[in-house]
Amino acid sequence: MSMLGTKWTVHGDGKTITPGAVVSPNERLSWPRTIGIGLQHVVAMFGATFLVPILTHMPPATTLFFSGIGTLLFLLITRGQVPSYLGSSFAFIAPIMASQTRFGVGGALGGVVMAGVTLAIVGLVVQKFGAGWLNRLMPPPVTGTIVALIGLNLAPAAWGNFKLAPVTALATLAVIILVSVLFRGILGRLSILAGVIVGYLVAVARHEVDYSAIDKAAWIGLPQFQTPTFHLGVAGLFIPVVLVLVAENIGHVKSVALMTGKNLDPYAGRALVSDGIATTLAGLGGGSGTTTYAENIGVMAATRVYSTAAYWVAAIAALLLGFSPKFGALIATVPAGVLGGAATLLYGMIGVLGVRIWVQNKVSFSNNINLTTAAVALVVGIANFEWNVGTLQFAGIALGTAAALVVYHGMNALAKWRGTVGDPLVPELEDAPKG
């Protein structure tokens, strides 16, 4: 079977998976089974993908539409070799919310476009020259700090929703925690979705849900498209997000390669370019920036099916949901308490991902350069420092990112000049193969 250049051969008899084997990206099971697995991918991405537009007050149906478009582009550009769903990236929540307060929705979308174009350019450079230059500019002490401050910068926003309906928020958070620890496999991966559903039911029982917008929405119609406006002042908020997207995409490629036993490094640059284009299109039309999803890796690990055919099914399903304004209106009814409960964990997880980068790369904080880099940048980001230069305004994420880069590389340069301390030990990541 061939679809726009993607070819799949049937695995075995199409009904069962050969013992000890996996269904590789260029294979598929029978179409009924492939469609079923594709719908599982829709469920897996759904909890995270719809939370981003709700938290940032953007149309959920539009975001779903562009996530479907982005996934199709990803599959085409990576030549059907890297199974992935591109859903809303949590890393965009903080800069979108910050830029909306000054430049409105259009300004936030302009920032999404900037991030998308930057990511695509990085992808082209990685595909041509490898990732060594990026690793030297953004070593683990810097990257971990930036990822951490992006998540922790959002802490006040989580409390802002939580305190509006603390009972509902606490119920949502408790269910997410319990499901993640009590269940394995796909259900454990869907803990956020499970928590949101239970929290929503609690909110209904407490009369916290407003259904008025659903009655006015049509069953079928075009998504609510919006156009961006461009302001230099948002660049500092959105460009740091590119670092997170690079780490997520390359991590995804390496994870799938490990599980399928295939060398996918030659497609790392293509994955970045794909996500960059998908994010750019989303920003141009009113959606949120996209990234690869760990939730869908969970589905693949549980089913042992890595077929990109299943992702075509998931992408098409997301597109169809995007053409239902009533469905989008239903998603938008999720009340503040549910969002506050989910965000409390969600924003913290983004912050801890930065810590994980430190741990995985054995970053030593006995080294004063690493310690100072993290200490200064985290406080700047969490406290949301501001600096106005004429008409330009730089806030916590931009200033924290700048602080991490200037402090780390500045202290290294001074230490070398004075001979006071050697370079901190920074594990060099292997360059991605050129292709």
Reference 207, options 329, 121, 333, 61; nearest CA is 333
d(CA 168, CA 411): 47
What is residue 435's DSSP assignment?
-
Rounded Cα–Cα distance for residues 225 and 64 (Å)? 12
Among candidates 270, 316, 282, 322, which has minimal Cα distance to 4? 316
Among 250, 322, 263, smallest CA distance to 291 is for 250
Ordered per-residue pLDDT tens for the chain, 435 residues:
444 546 899 988 888 887 778 888 888 889 998 998 888 788 778 767 888 888 888 888 899 999 999 999 999 999 888 899 998 888 898 889 888 988 899 999 999 999 999 999 999 998 888 767 777 887 889 888 888 887 788 788 889 889 999 999 999 999 989 988 898 766 776 788 888 899 999 999 999 988 888 888 888 888 999 999 998 888 888 988 888 888 788 878 877 887 788 888 888 899 999 999 999 999 999 999 998 886 777 778 777 888 999 999 999 999 998 898 888 888 888 888 998 898 888 788 878 878 888 988 889 998 899 999 999 999 998 988 888 776 666 777 778 888 999 999 999 999 888 887 654 444 443 343 333
Nearest residue to 234 via CA among 54, 339, 107 = 107
Report the pLDDT value the prediction gives residue 426, as an integer from 0 to 100. 44
Q: What is the pLDDT of residue 391?
A: 60
- Cα–Cα distance between 275 and 272 in angstroms, integer? 5
**286 close to 58: Cβ distance less than 8 angstroms:** yes
Q: How many CB atoms lie within 10 A of CB 178?
A: 14
Q: What is the pLDDT of residue 393?
A: 65
DSSP annotation of 173 reads H
Can you give the pLDDT at residue 421?
66
pLDDT, residue 186, reads 61
Residue 389: exposure state from Cβ atoms within 10 A (0-12, 13-18, ≥19): exposed
The Cα-based distances of 352 to 139, 148, 225 in angstroms read: 17, 6, 34
Backbone torsion region of residue 14, taken as left when φ is above 0, otherwise alpha when ψ lies between -120 and 50, otherwise beta? left
**Residue 327, pLDDT score:** 86
Q: What angle do CA 102, 106, 112 make, to 5 degrees?
A: 95
Distance CA 308, CA 285 (A): 26
Residue at token pair 């800069």: 95
Q: What is the pLDDT of residue 435?
A: 38
411: which residues sit within 8 A by CB, 6+ positions away?
Answer: 368, 369, 372, 373
φ and ψ of 291, to 5 deg: -155, 165
Residue boundaries of the structural domains of the chain: 30-219+232-354+365-418
Strands 27-28 and 9-10: parallel
Tell me what pLDDT residue 124 has. Answer: 94
pLDDT at residue 432 in the model: 38
Q: What is the residue type of 351?
A: G
| DSSP helix, strand, coil percent of the chain (3-state; round to 5) | 70, 5, 25
Residue 4: per-residue pLDDT = 53
| 3 state SS for 361-411 | CCCCCCCHHHHHHHHHHHHHHHCCCCEEECCEEECHHHHHHHHHHHHHHHH
Secondary structure class of 9 (helix, strand, coil): strand
Backbone angles phi, psi at 386, to 5 degrees: -130, 150
